[in-house]
Amino acid sequence: AQKVTQAQTEISVVEKEDVTLDCVYETRDTTYYLFWYKQPPSGELVFLIRRNSFDEQNEISGRYSWNFQKSTSSFNFTITASQVVDSAVYFCALSEASRDDKIIFGKGTRLHILP
Amino acid sequence: DAGITQSPRYKITETGRQVTLMCHQTWSHSYMFWYRQDLGHGLRLIYYSAAADITDKGEVPDGYVVSRSKTENFPLTLESATRSQTSVYFCASRGGRSDTQYFGPGTRLTVL
């Protein structure tokens, strides 16, 4: 069965602190893709990153970094030196190469960055 | 280049009325999707389409109809709107099966 779990429903941190959002996934496919999306208060869903199952290299993009570990089926997202503009709901998602249809979303983590 | 657009962005209608939500993408993506987002349920797939003239049901298709006569358009019709269909609707598209899915800005629908 496919599943994405974001155990942290809501997190609050003070601006400039680092914060890590956890994502654990389940899949039987050997080829799959992992994503993070951001949903700011304005409501749109913004794509952040895509990772395929054969590439475990960590990725850094500015203040954002992602840690993909197949051994623990995790794809965690870290924001360094958080800013108020990072306040949003963040979704982790899984897509399996064998499936034509949807990607499976986690329930999301609501992140509050306090000034 | 607008990417993927949805119209209207906001809609208020009454129970029993027919409503059509429009989705248009300029990327010539093969796949298109309709999701609804509700508190406590996250994003749920309503219908999807792998190509023009090919559509398939998702998790929550009841009460909805879709068509895809052209690659770039994927309208979603609520044949007889009910209060339980009050939600935010997102359209999405992707090029191939393993590609990234991009979302439209959403349509907030209220059924009174």
Spatial contact of A105 and A5, defined as CB atoms under 8 Å apart? no
Average predicted confidence (pLDDT) for chain A: 93
B5 to each of A36, A75, A99, B13, how far by Cα in Å?
Answer: 21, 30, 25, 21
Residue A83 CA to residue A24 CA, distance in Å, equals: 25
Whether pLDDT at A10 is above 90: yes
CA distance B6 to chain A (A): 11
Contact B83, B111 (CB under 8 A): yes
What DSSP state is assigned to residue B16?
T
A37 neighbourhood in chain B, CB within 8 Å? 103
Q: What angle do CA B24, A88, B108 make, to 5 degrees?
A: 40
Nearest chain B residue to A38 by CA distance is B103
pLDDT per residue over A20-58, tens digit each?
A: 999 999 999 999 999 999 999 999 999 999 999 998 888
Give chain B's residues under pLDDT 50.
none
**Beta carbons within 10 angstroms of residue A101's beta carbon:** 18
Q: Identify all chain B residues contacting A103, using CB atoms and an 8 Å cutoff.
A: 101
How confident is the model at residue B1, as a pLDDT? Answer: 58
Bridge partners of B57, per DSSP, are: B47
pLDDT at position A56 is 86
Could you tell me the pLDDT band of residue A97, with boundaries at 50, 70 and 90? Answer: confident
Q: B96 Cβ partners below 8 Å, 6+ apart?
A: B30, B31
Å between A39 CA and nearest CA of chain B: 10
A98 has pLDDT over 90: no
